[in-house]
Structure formats: structure tokens, C-alpha cells
Amino acid sequence: MQKVWIVVTALIWFAVPAVPGQIKRTSVPLGDVMDKALAKGSLLGDGARPFHIYVSVSEPENPASPYQGTIEEWWASPSQWRREVTVKDGVRQTIVVTDGKKTERDEGDYFPLWLRNFVSATFDVVPDAAAWRASGGSIPQIAEGSNSGACARAKFSIGSGASATDAFAGICFDGTGRLKSYFGPRYSMEFSDYRSFGNKQIARKLDDDPEPGTHLTGEVTRLEELPKDIPATLFASLSTDDDRFHSVQVSPLQMEQLTAGNKSIQWPTVRSGKTEGRLAIYVSVDSAGQVREAWPLNSDNAGLEDPVREQVQHWTTKPAIANGKPVQVDGGRGFAFDTKIADPLPELSDAEVRALATKIVEPVWASGAHSGDVAEVDIGVNEEGKLTGEGYTKVPSNLQSPVIAAISQWTFHPLIRNGKPQYFHGIVKFVVP
């Protein structure tokens, strides 16, 4: 499998000094900062103690959402544990490790990527930690006084040739060195509400925004020491060892090859924005070769993201085989688009967009941001007032993390024209004070 190597291309940090003039800035290896954060904030690894955890995953603003599931694990040691993961539609995965031997029972035909992300956030919070260490990057650290956080960011391409589209990954730490957020094509998560568990600090709230307007939350409703009176049968090996939910991450080139037999994307006309450019999505395929999820990553025209995703979700591939068995696969897919404008959308200025906003969140700027720096975000808002896409081509790389964190929280009243709600395109402008 081809690997996407992470190369740190931009570093962001910000500080709030307690007393002016008493702050000394130093630089430390990114790997050291990350390892300390994982040692302190991960349930597993050095210093792990037996535990029982229960996580409830939902879309709080949509009680009828299909994005509902649970994660529960009883962990006695690396060689003895039991995990049960369920989805609202009846999918269930049970894994038991007894004396170091894994057995698994999978019920259903597909383990969703959106829920897999919360499993990672619970037990393997930085899945590609080795790649970040290997990057050799460093981040500024405040040696004396107090600091409010630091981030590292990586840039790479998804797709080949004319379809190659920029993609990003990043990792951020809060002022105490705990993991604050991680984002990348396959997996993104925010970590908050840290509380003590033994000598560790464990996040009790996990948040993910897989697409504009969809906010998923994982709530740790129970984290306790493993009860001493649990029945021994809990760790008894299962009678089956399924692996139909095993998922293999493939490179963008491999994803192009797997999906090459499908119909070409039919590019609809757009009502605003660029008519030529590039777009990238992240695709997950079940073990039978049916695309089950397609999430937006980056686009030169956000209005094309939903049409592409809708078409791709009808795609099929030949089942991928690993160790002689069909497996799920996931990976990025890039596209080059060429379309035209028809029935132009209302184009709103920054002032007009802000007048429609029901919730405005301003970025928290890093100290590396310079007064007067400007970031302009292209947004799309549908007839229900739901943010449907954002474009960051006019946002300098060193400002992207705080801008993305801010704009994703905005909400709006619908735009009414001639008595009817209208989809609109607009610009949101931020200026560093």
C-alpha cells in the first residue's frame, strides 16, 4: 500500500502571558509534545489501569439521525479485554481478546467510518502518531509563564494529474499540553472536558463535523475502574472470528483504480463560484464493493460537493481482498471539474452574510498572525439556513485552523427572496486585529 507521508509545512501557536515580559519562547520536538499528550491522555499505553468505559455517539441536534451508536469496553490488560460497538440500524461488532488471542463476531454488512472515528478517538487518539514523529517537526513552547496552545499542520495531495487536490492534516494541543484536536482526511476529532482517571487526564467529550451542518458528539457517560466482580465469562473467547468489518486504507491512486469502472461524474451547472477546478472527497466502500460513505474534504467550488457525493455513493468496485478475504476499503478520491454558471445564486457580501447569521463565532488568532492579515471564506447556505460548504482558497495557510474552527459553528436564518427561501453563496471576511 502506498503511504501518505506527513510533512509539517506550517506551525501555529498562540500564548496569553500572565505577566508581560516574563515569557520565554523555546522550540521543542513535535514528537515529544505528542508523546507526553498521549501518555497523559490515552487510556492505553504506559501507566494504563484496568477500566470500563461506555461512550454514547449521537447527532444532538437531530434526534432522528442515523448517526447513533455506542462503544463499550472492559479492559483488564493488553492481552485480556472485550469491546462491543453498536449502531442504531442493528450493526454490532464484538471483539474479545483472551490470553492475547483475538476472536470477533460481526453482525451486519458494514461498519461505518463515522463510528470507527469515535472508536479511534476513544482508544487510539492519534492513529498515525509514528508519521508525525518521523516528520521531524518542532513547535514553539512557552518555557515560563502560561500558554494557550500550539498546533502543527501538514499538507499533501489527493488525486493524480489534473485531479490532484490539496488536503490537510493537523494536530493541536491545549495550554496544559493535552490533545485538543486532530484533523485529517480519514479521521478528525476534537477533545474536551478532560477529567482525571487515576494519574491520567481523559477527555469526556468528543466532537466531529464530517460534513457542513452535521455535528456528531461522543459522550463518555461512564469511565470507572474495572469492577472486580465481573463474571469470568465476559472474557471467554467467541465461537467465531469474523473480520468482515476489517477496513484497509488505500492510497488516492489505488482508490482511483478501484473506482475506475464507474460512470464519469456528470457535473451539474453551478449558480456561483469557479467553473473549473479541483475537488476531493473521502470514500468508504463495504466488503461487497458498494460505496457507503463519501465525505467532503476540499473543493474549489463547494456547491459541487453534494452532487459529487450523491453520484459516488452509487458507485461500486470489485471487492477488495486482503489475506484471501473481502475487506472494507477507504481512501481519498480527487476530481477535476469543468462546468458553467446557470441561474446565478445570490452573492452576499460579508455584511449581508453577518446580518443573516444567528450565531457568529470569531477566530481565536495565533500569535503568529499579523495585524491586518485578511482571511476570506467562501460559504454556501441552503434554503433551510444550513451551512453546506466552505472554501478556503483565500485563507492564508497560517490562519486556516482558527478560521475553520470558527466558521463551522456559524448558523443562519434562511435568505428570503420573493417570499421564498433561497440557497445563497457568500463571503465571510475576517481581519486579524
Take residue 323 and report the three cell numbers written for it: 489475506
Mean pLDDT, the chain, rounded, equals: 88
- Stronger pLDDT, 369 or 301, i.e. the higher one: 301
pLDDT at 23 over 70: no
Block residue for cell numbers 485552523: 401
**Alpha helices, H only, 277-415:** 305-312, 350-356, 400-407
pLDDT at position 70 = 98
Q: Are 94 and 82 in contact (CB under 8 A)?
A: yes
277 pLDDT tier (thresholds 50, 70, 90): very high
Backbone phi, then psi, for 123, in 5-degree steps? -120, -20
From CA 264, how far away is CA 339, in angstroms rounded?
Answer: 14
Percentage of the chain exceeding pLDDT 70: 92
Q: Give pLDDT tens digits for 82-138.
A: 999 999 989 999 999 999 999 999 999 999 999 999 999 999 999 889 999 988 888
From CA 195, how far away is CA 259, in angstroms rounded?
Answer: 44
Take residue 76 and report the three cell numbers written for it: 483488564
Helix (H, G, I), strand (E, B) or coil at 217: strand
Take residue 287 and report the three cell numbers written for it: 466488503
From CA 413, how far away is CA 348, in angstroms rounded?
Answer: 14
From CA 146, how far away is CA 18, in angstroms rounded?
Answer: 6
* Mean pLDDT, residues 13-35 taken together: 61
pLDDT at 72 over 60: yes
Q: Give pLDDT tens digits for 218-234.
A: 999 999 999 999 998 99
Helix (H, G, I), strand (E, B) or coil at 405: helix
pLDDT at position 160 = 86
pLDDT at position 243 = 82
Among 72-76, 150-154, 165-169, 390-394, which is the least confidently predicted range? 390-394
From CA 301, how far away is CA 399, in angstroms rounded?
Answer: 20
Helix (H, G, I), strand (E, B) or coil at 354: helix
Helix (H, G, I), strand (E, B) or coil at 195: strand
* Mean pLDDT, residues 390-402 taken together: 82
Take residue 150 and report the three cell numbers written for it: 500550539
323 pLDDT tier (thresholds 50, 70, 90): confident
What DSSP line would sit under 110-138, residue for residue?
---HHHHHHHHHHH-SSTTHHHHHHTT-E
Measure Cα distances from 59 to 209, 251, 305 in Å: 10, 30, 21
The H-or-E segment that residue 424 falls in is: strand 424-431
Measure Cα distances from 391 to 108, 129, 302 in Å: 37, 28, 6
pLDDT at position 20 = 40
